[in-house]
Every structure is written in structure tokens, then in C-alpha cells.
Amino acid sequence: MSDSRTDTRKDGIHLRAIIGVGAAIALTIVLVGAAAYWVWESDLPPPMRDAPNTRLDFHAQAPLLDSAPQPNRAAYEAEKQQLLNGWQWSDRSAGIARIPIAQAMQLMAQQHAADPDRTDKRRPQ
């Protein structure tokens, strides 16, 4: 007849005790994880866009599509061509002006041909 108080196998292992301790460990792990998650969520600062602990937002806005981008592109290219090929004061009081790129390259080539060892004196070295 077996003793009803102990569930001991012949080799001396208590199965109910092992199962109970395993269940207690698993329950402890779950409870500690839930508590850590709760503390983490309740301790977050107010949302800031680039803070390291903010939640990631994986929702991207839909792109702004233009049904006819050609006029916008042509206006953009015309503006850039005007900057490259036009004359304009950048800072009149300091004597800084924008000149056409072709003439600027010719001036730089002439200056370099006249004095190949010369560096631009306006720029710090």
C-alpha cells in the first residue's frame, strides 16, 4: 500500500514537488514580466518625436502625387538656369555678386594660368 501523502517514485524523486516548483517559477516569470512592462509603460515621458524611448510609428503618410509634374519641373530647371547664367548681387555692401558660371570658370582659368601657385586669399587655409 502506498502512502497518500507522498508521490515518490522508487528512485526518490517527488514528481508533485517538481511540478509545483516549475509552475511557481513559470508564474513568477510571467508576473515579473508583466510588472516590468507596466512600469516601463507608466514611466515613459510624454511622446517626443526623436526621443530614444518613444514608440516607433511605422505609419507613413501617402506621398503627395502630382498628376502633371512637367510644369513644376520646367519652372524648377528655369530657376536653376537663371542662377547659373544670370547676374545678381548676393551682398552688395560686401561686394559679393553672382556671375554666369561660364564667365566664372574663364576667370578662374585665367587666374590659375597667370599664377599656378596662387591660392584663393579670401579663404582661410
Cα–Cα distance list, 54 to 37, 41, 44, 47, 110 (Å): 14, 10, 8, 6, 57
pLDDT digits (tens, 9 = 90+) for 80-116: 999 899 998 888 999 889 999 999 999 989 988 888 7
Q: Is the pLDDT of residue 44 over 70?
A: no
Q: Which of 3-7, 22-26, 63-67, 111-115 has the lowest mean pLDDT?
A: 3-7
Q: Is the pLDDT of residue 56 over 60?
A: yes
Q: Average pLDDT, stretch 61-89?
A: 89
Task: Check: pTM over 0.75? Answer yes or no.
Answer: no
Distance CA 52, CA 75 (A): 41
Instruction: Name the more confident of 57 and 89.
Output: 89
Indicate the residue type of 73: R
> What pLDDT score was predicted for residue 1?
44
